[in-house]
């Protein structure tokens, strides 16, 4: 599970760690291709990122990654049928905690991007489609390629990622089982509390690393 989450985080980072998209709307496949190359180039040249500077990484994730991810939809899909049972305040809290969890996950794995490159498969979609899938694979210097696909939706502010598949495992489905198990065991508030406690530990670990 830990390894899968790390792979998912690295793949998300490969398409998000950049300046916001230009005003002219890009096709979803062009957007993913551009961001992928920019993040890989940046990770190879930024000494602070390579050294694992947590503060810099967190700041950059917050300002560069998040604009391209639809955390609201991602959280609602991960919560499944329980999302409808949650109050607006619970939905807000759950989204914020899930968002924070993924941010820390990204920050803890971003320095792993070294010499990878990305190859894309032919993109197929109709002009009127508002939800599409972009298929690609990460080519490491050693080992087998990592197949990953992105699900994007067209929003009022452009295309945004709401799910990622690594080796056939979709991020939303990975968390959906965990969320469902915790809600059944306790409640929606219980899930929020568990995520909050985990985020507090991740924040403390990040602060500890930054002072070393």
pLDDT value at residue 18: 39
Summarize pLDDT for 65-111 with one digit per residue, the tens: 678 889 999 999 999 999 999 999 999 999 999 999 888 876 666 55
Contact between 64 and 19 (Cβ < 8 Å): yes
More confident position, 171 or 39: 171
Distance, CA of 75 to CA of 94 (rounded, Å)? 7
pLDDT band at 184, cuts 50/70/90? very high
Summarize pLDDT for 34-48 with one digit per residue, the tens: 877 777 777 778 788
Alpha helices in 14-129 (DSSP H): 28-45, 47-50, 54-60, 71-79, 82-85, 88-109
Summarize pLDDT for 105-144 with one digit per residue, the tens: 766 665 566 777 889 999 999 999 999 999 998 888 888 8
User: Reduced to 3 states, what is the DSSP secondary structure of residue 136?
Assistant: strand
Q: What's the DSSP call for residue 69?
A: B
pLDDT value at residue 200: 94
pLDDT value at residue 99: 92
How many CA atoms lie within 13 Å of 25's alpha carbon, on the beta-carbon side? 10
Q: Helices 88-109 & 71-79, crossing angle to 10 degrees? A: 110
């Amino acid at each position: 599970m830990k390894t899968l989450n790390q792979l998912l985080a690295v793949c998300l980072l490969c398409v998000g760690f950049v300046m916001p998209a230009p005003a002219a709307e890009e096709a979803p496949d062009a957007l993913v291709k551009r961001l992928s190359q920019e993040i890989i180039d940046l990770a190879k040249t930024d000494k602070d990122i390579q050294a694992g500077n947590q503060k810099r990484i967190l700041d950059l994730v917050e300002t560069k990654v998040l604009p391209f991810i639809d955390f609201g939809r991602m959280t609602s899909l991960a919560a499944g049928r329980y999302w409808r049972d949650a109050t607006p305040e619970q939905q807000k809290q759950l989204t914020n905690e899930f968002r924070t969890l993924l941010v820390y996950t990204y920050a803890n794995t971003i320095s792993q991007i070294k010499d990878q490159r990305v190859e894309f498969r032919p993109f197929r979609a109709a002009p009127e489609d508002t939800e599409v899938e972009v298929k690609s694979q990460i080519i490491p210097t050693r080992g087998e390629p990592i197949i990953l696909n992105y699900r994007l939706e067209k929003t009022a502010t452009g295309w945004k990622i709401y799910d990622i598949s690594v080796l056939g495992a979709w991020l939303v489905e990975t968390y959906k089982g965990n969320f469902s198990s915790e809600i059944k065991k306790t409640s929606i508030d219980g899930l929020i509390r568990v995520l909050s406690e985990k985020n507090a530990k991740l924040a403390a670990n990040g602060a500890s690393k930054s002072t070393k």
